[in-house]
Structure 1
Amino acid sequence: MALLFIGIDPDTGGGNCPAVWVDRPEGDRTEAELVLQGWLADAATLERCASDSPRPDTEAVIRIPARMVHQIREACDVVERSRL
């Protein structure tokens, strides 16, 4: 796994907080992926999300604070550059 750390929630003091990585293509995988650490969604959020997109056991719904837009955007830029 070729994880590139992008950043953590800027309003926290260190570990145990939402974070963003990019998993760069490696081996047979030809596309990069975003890896997100966030807060687990509550039951009401899970239910609401399931009404739009049922979630299989292999997926999770998490919450990321909007103040992390910069880190998510940076991760998206890394992914797009890897496609060139």
Structure 2
Amino acid sequence: MSLLFVGIDPNTGDHESPTVWADLEEKELVLQGWKAGPALEAKCAALEIPGHAIGIPDTEAVIRIPARMVGMIREACDAVERADQLP
């Protein structure tokens, strides 16, 4: 796995570390964030969206990422797109 560290929440403390990576091999974003908590998770799970099953599969999670990290997420998106150009 070619994992590229992109950034960490600039307001992170010693015990919190929302983080953004780009997996260049799989061409995926890898995000570490705060657990959404039962109320938000239940709200997301209950939404009926066309083409999306109700609920959250055991293999998935709802996380929260602070908006101040949007630039890092964009950078990770660009890195994943550029991975196609790697030899």
Q: What's the TM-score once normalised by structure 1's chain length? A: 0.83
Alignment of 1:1-84 (within 5 A): 1-13=1-13, 16-25=16-25, 31-52=26-47, 53-84=54-85
Segments of 5+ residues of structure 2 without an aligned counterpart are 48-53
Aligned partners of 2:64 and 2:55: how far apart in 1? 17
Return the offset for 1:51: 1.8
State the Cα deviation string for residues 30-63 of structure 1 (Å, max 9, x = none). Answer: x411100100011110011112352100011100
Shift of 1:15: 6.5
Once the two structures are superposed, residues 2-46 of structure 1 have per-residue CA deviations (whole angstroms, 9 ceiling, x without a partner) of 110000001225664100001111xxxxx4111001000111100
List gaps (5 residues or longer) in structure 1.
26-30
Q: Structure 1: which 4+ aligned runs deviate by more than 6 Å?
A: none
Larger Rg: 2
